[in-house]
Each structure stands twice: as C-alpha cells, then as structure tokens.
C-alpha cells in the first residue's frame, strides 16, 4: 500500500485527469453562462482528460525512470494511441451521431420518438487534445517536483 501512495506516475496522471475533467465545468460556465455538472463525468470537451492523463503518465515515467527507459517508450506509445483515438475515431463517431440526429429530426418533423438523441460530443478536437497534453505534462512536473525533490 505504501508503494502505491508514493507512485509518482499514478498521482501525476490522476491529478491531470481530475484537473481536466473538473476544469470542464467552469470553462463551460464561461462559454455558456450556465452550470453543467454533468460534464464531470462526460466524455469530450475542453480540455481532453484522456490526453491529460496519458501525457502526465508518460511525462512522469520519463522524469522518474529516465526519458531513455523502456517504461517511457511504452507510455509514449500508449499516449499516442489514446490521443489518436480521442481526436480521430471518437471525434468521427460524434460527428456521425450529430448527422444521424439531424436526419431523424428531419424525418420525424422535429420529434424524436421512442428514444433519445445520440451523444454527439464523444471525442476531441486537436485543440482540446493539445490543451489536455499541456495540462498533463504540467501536472507531471508538479507531482514530480513534490514527490521527487532533488537531493
């Protein structure tokens, strides 16, 4: 248990994810002028919590084990797959959901019977992913400085 509590990679990733996911609420408030607490558990939006989490994990792995370590290499590869998925495949799925929702509304005269609209915000724009990566790297540095002081 003690080793887990001192795991810099875990805490950096968890901090970045929490900041990104929690940050969506005030950012949406500024943009839409209303609170949307559902964003705390929703995929998509600014910043990308997926990108923040994997970037923090990769950065912390590099800081703790060395940027020439196998762990850092694996973490970067994993981060690349997750960020690609978030900005590519899931983003396209969201765009498809948006189009399908519009088609159904047109066919039903604006009424969507028996069911609910598909979730349209599934992925991230490259800009959202960029800010998630930046947040992740910054979180990793903060946790590393706190948990691994020079000495």
Encode the chain (151 residues) as per-residue pLDDT tens digits.
677 788 999 999 999 999 989 888 887 788 888 887 876 677 667 788 889 999 999 999 999 999 999 999 999 999 999 888 877 776 677 777 777 777 777 777 765 555 555 565 666 778 888 888 888 888 888 888 888 765 4
Please count the structural domains in the chain: 1
Dist CA 75 CA 5 (whole Å): 20
Cα–Cα distances (Å) from 26 to 36, 47, 61, 128, in that order, read 9, 11, 30, 15
pLDDT value at position 151? 42
Q: Which domain range does residue 130 map to?
A: 2-147
pLDDT value at position 5? 83
pLDDT value at position 53? 93
**Which among 101, 139, 145 has a CA at the least distance from the CA of 120?**
101
Q: Quote the pTM value.
A: 0.66
pLDDT tens column, 134-144 = 888 888 888 88
């Amino acid at each position: 248990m003690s080793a887990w509590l001192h795991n810099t990679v875990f805490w950096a990733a968890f901090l970045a994810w929490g900041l990104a996911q929690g940050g969506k609420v005030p950012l949406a408030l500024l943009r839409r002028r209303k609170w949307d607490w559902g964003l705390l558990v929703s995929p998509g939006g600014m910043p990308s919590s997926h990108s923040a989490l994997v970037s923090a994990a990769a950065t912390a792995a590099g800081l703790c084990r060395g940027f020439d370590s196998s762990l850092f290499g694996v973490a970067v590869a994993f981060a690349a797959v997750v960020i690609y998925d978030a900005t590519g495949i899931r983003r396209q799925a969201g765009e498809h959901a948006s189009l399908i929702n519009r088609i159904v509304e047109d066919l039903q005269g604006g009424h969507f019977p028996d069911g609910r609209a598909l979730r349209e915000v599934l992925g991230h724009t490259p800009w959202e992913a960029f800010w998630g990566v930046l947040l992740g790297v910054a979180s990793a540095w903060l946790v590393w400085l706190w948990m691994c002081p020079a000495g």
